[in-house]
Every structure is written in C-alpha cells, then in structure tokens.
Amino acid sequence: MNTMPEDRKVILITGTSKGIGLYLAQHYISKGFQVIGCSRNSVDFSDSLYTHICADISEEQDILEIYKFIRKDIKRLDVLINNAAINPAIVSAALLPYETISQTFRTNVFAPMLFCREAVKLMTRNKFGRIINMGSMASKHEVPGEALYTSTKTALNAYSRVLAKEVAKAGITVNVIAPSAIKTELSGKINPMALQEVLSRNAIAEYGEMNDVSNIIDVLIKEESSAITGQIIYLGGV
Amino acid sequence: MDVLELIYEVIDELNLDLGPSEQLKKDENSVIFGPESTLDSMGLVNLITLIEQRIEEKTGNFIAIADERAMSMQESPFKTVKTLKEYIEVLLNEYNA
Ligand SMILES: NC(=O)c1ccc[n+]([C@@H]2O[C@H](COP(=O)([O-])OP(=O)(O)OC[C@H]3O[C@@H](n4cnc5c(N)ncnc54)[C@H](OP(=O)(O)O)[C@@H]3O)[C@@H](O)[C@H]2O)c1
C-alpha cells in the first residue's frame, strides 16, 4: 500500500545511477520529495523515499512500464527531470555509424519526448507540472567532433520550447537547464585540453558544480515559478 | 464495454472544468478536434488521457489511443465522438483477439 502523504511531491528523474542524475535523486530525497529514478544499472543506496526502476529508456516499452507503475502505485507526478543522455562518439560527423546515431537520438531525444508525453498526461490531472530537460553548452559552442551530441541537445531545446506553449494552460512549465561542464563519466570522455578551450569561451571558464544544477532546478520547480517556461538556461555564462 | 457510454462519462468529467461556451455535447456528432471543436488541443489531450485511464481501470490493460495508425489515417479518428468511438472499438477488438 502506498502510504505517501497526499501533499508529498513526486519527482521522476532519468539516469540516476551516476553523475548528475544520482546527485539530483539524493538532493530531492533530502528535501522530502518522493523520488522515482531509472537507469539501466541499479543504484547502491536505498531510501524509503526512493524507488529505482531498471530500464533502458531507448526502448519505448520500458518507458511505458515506468508510467504504468506511477499511474497504478503512485498516482501522481509533479516534476519530471529528463537527465539521462549519452555521448558515445566524439568523432568527425563523417565517421558516424548509423547505429550510433540512432541509439544516441533514441536516448537523448526520443526518450525525453516519450517521458514528456506521458508526464503531461499525468500532470494535467492536477493542473500542475514542472518539466526540466537537460541541455548542454554544446548547443551554443558547436564544437567539432560533437555534431551528434550537439544536434540531440539542440533538438531537445526546440522540442521543449514548443511543448512549453502547448501545455502552459494546463499549469505545466517546461524548461531546459544547460550546464557548462561538470565532472562526471560523460564529461570525462572529452579531451581535457579541448574541454578547457571550450570552457575558456564562457564567462566562468571553470567546471561547474552539481549544486549549480540543483540550485536552478529548485527555483524552477517551485509553485511560484509558474511564469518561467520555455527557457533555455545556460549555466557558467555561456 | 460500452465505449460510447465510457466517452460520455469522460465528457461529463471534462465539462466540469470547461466554461459554459466550451461545453462538449454528449452527442456522437460532437466535433472533438479542429476549428469547429469547443475543445482546444490540451482539451483533446485530456479527453484521450481520461479515456485511456478509464480503459486501463476497467480492463487492466493500457491501450494507447493516439497510436501511429491513428496519426497516419486519411480520415482522422479524432474528428468526432463517433469516429473516436469506432476507432477505440477497433483497438479493443484487436487487443482482445
Ligand atoms: N557532465 C557534464 O559536463 C554535462 C554538461 C552539460 C550537460 N550535461 C547533461 O547532463 C545530463 C547528465 O549527464 P552526466 O554527466 O551526469 O552523465 P553520466 O554520468 O554519463 O550519467 C548518465 C546517466 O544516464 C543513464 N543512461 C544513459 N543511457 C541510458 C539508457 N539507455 N537508459 C537508461 N538510463 C540511461 C546512465 O545510467 P546507466 O548507464 O546505468 O543506464 C546514467 O545514470 C545529460 O543529459 C548530459 O547531456 C552534462
């Protein structure tokens, strides 16, 4: 039986096994949210406020199962953070294999679209919802070797801005948070010299911190932030 | 399952939130999408979502109404209550087959 108090907000975060997603899951547990996380791997912590679902979000069926669980057992969704993404190949666009392109788009673009689609259906019930999609400074800097990752993040920007217009009347906001660079496995794949060069183009030419991300999300998901929507917020002075 | 009855139940629920000029009539010919409809696009999302929920509650099965076939049909099933009812009946029959 679900013993969740009526007023406890429910937040769904994708990609919680490591990196920013893991940090955000623990951050929102500590703030008293009911957190549902997912990733292909499991997590090595447990908490009464946390439910982990092992899922491959590049498969529609896995996403539908997550929502089936939420509809049946949790019955509400207040916040969705589309955090999971991959950046598997930092190579010339001329060398990108089709399967790599396909898998990256399925994970970074199709999955967030499906998560948004199902979230909107649940959120309209309560006439409240906050959707955060994770962008990247890559969309602004357009770095050679990052054509695939950059185009997925830019697609998500455009999608988020249109969705924001469609769902505003339902009390749902949609925003993109685009961190500069934060030390995780994903950013660790980028050549440090190249990353330093890209960072030097920002007002803040250093790595960001995890709490830079949670700080802005904390603001955006507040009930009072109902007028902030359709924004792409770059961190680090991009 | 009486699909028309189910759609009418959902229309009743939707109308609770709609203003007097936006009320959707419980009539097979009520237009549910497009310029002639009193529902806006989020209204249609609500209608479809509530129907999907009711079907899931009644049957335990989630059936996506806005599926690929619906999107590619020449005559959209999301035109009137009647076309929607007929499309849902097709989906239910296929699911049960
Ligand atoms: N770190 C940065 O510098 C930076 C900068 C700008 C933007 N971002 C964005 O921030 C977000 C998080 O990045 P991060 O650095 O924390 O990455 P990360 O450390 O590589 O973590 C990515 C997470 O996504 C999950 N994931 C990947 N593919 C998945 C799939 N098919 N199904 C389910 N889960 C999947 C991973 O879990 P499993 O492997 O267990 O599935 C993992 O939990 C991404 O959207 C990224 O683009 C990061």
**How far does the centroid of ligand 1 lie from the alpha carbon of residue A54, in Å?**
14
Question: Under CATH, which number does the domain A10-234 receive?
Answer: 3.40.50.720
Superfamily of domain B3-96: ACP-like (1.10.1200.10)
Cross-chain residue pair A124–B42, CB shorter than 8 Å = yes
Is residue A3 pLDDT above 50, yes or no? no
Three-state secondary structure of B28-94: CCCECCCCCCCCCHHHHHHHHHHHHHHHHHHHCCCCCCCCHHHHHCCCCCCCEHHHHHHHHHHHHHH
- DSSP class of residue B22 equals G
pLDDT-derived band of residue A2, with 50, 70 and 90 as boundaries? very low
pLDDT score recorded for residue A1: 42
Q: What DSSP letter does each residue of A168-198 carry, written as one string? A: GGGTEEEEEEE-S-B-SHHHHTS-HHHHHHH
> b or e along A82-98 (b: 16 or more beta carbons within 10 Å of the residue's beta carbon)?
bbbbbbbbbeeeeeeee
How high is the ipTM of this complex?
0.82
Contact check, Cβ <8 Å, A124/B53: no
Chain B nearest-CA residue for A168: B42
Q: Span B46-55, mean pLDDT? A: 94
Asked whether A52 and A90 are in contact (CB, 8 A), the reply is no
Confidence of residue A89 (pLDDT cuts 50, 70, 90): confident
Residue boundaries of the structural domains of chain A: 10-234
pLDDT in tens, A178-229: 999 999 999 998 989 999 999 999 999 999 999 999 999 999 999 999 999 9
